[in-house]
Copies of this chain bind each other. A is one copy, B any other.
């Protein structure tokens, strides 16, 4: 009935992707709406048909990515029968799509660092992500402890936050130095070994 109904969500994605490309190259503050529009091959005004501000684009960009991650984490089947495997799988998941993540991270940071982060509730969403991941990991650690595969003495709660931080540290180093795949994988493996050697009985 309505003529050529534009898929709003599709177009938003188009814009968000264009924004990612431009912002990746110049940073958020230096990326202009015009450049984003041009990259998306649409008019500047059109951007405002889909987003009410430049910041909103980034908000969607970042939250889309993290909710995608979130979703994958939820859907992922961790076998609670084998806690060690679960931890390994958790680590693998954490570094999934590290390339895109490395593009998002700097943008995320620029926002968080600037006053805008607070305005957009980024701080909250970051701490929530951290919290959720820590809680999830904590489950595996406790499960493993219960199953006597992991040490009894583990302060699983504290440890899980430390591990999440270590993961973030590795992600950050990837964002910073863009190492080659194998090089990075070696680091991930090393971290995994270190963690497992620490928690295993």
Across the interface, name the chain B residue whose C-beta is closest to A192: B162
Across the interface, name the chain B residue whose C-beta is closest to A2: B43
Structural contact, B115 and A109, CB atoms closer than 8 A:
no
A61-110 residues at the B interface, CB under 8 angstroms: 106-107, 109-110
Is A165 engaged at the interface, CB distance under 8 Å to the other chain? yes
Interface size range of chain A in the complex: 35 or more
The answer for the CA separation of A116 and B31 in the assembled complex, in Å, is 12
Chain B residues within 8 Å of A114, by CB: 26-30, 110
Structural contact, B176 and A172, CB atoms closer than 8 A:
no
The answer for the CA separation of A172 and B113 in the assembled complex, in Å, is 12
Structural contact, A176 and B26, CB atoms closer than 8 A:
no
B-binding residues in A (CB < 8 A):
3, 25-30, 45, 106-107, 109-110, 112-117, 123, 126-127, 130, 155, 158-159, 161-162, 164-170, 172-173, 176-177, 186-187, 190-191, 193-195, 197-198
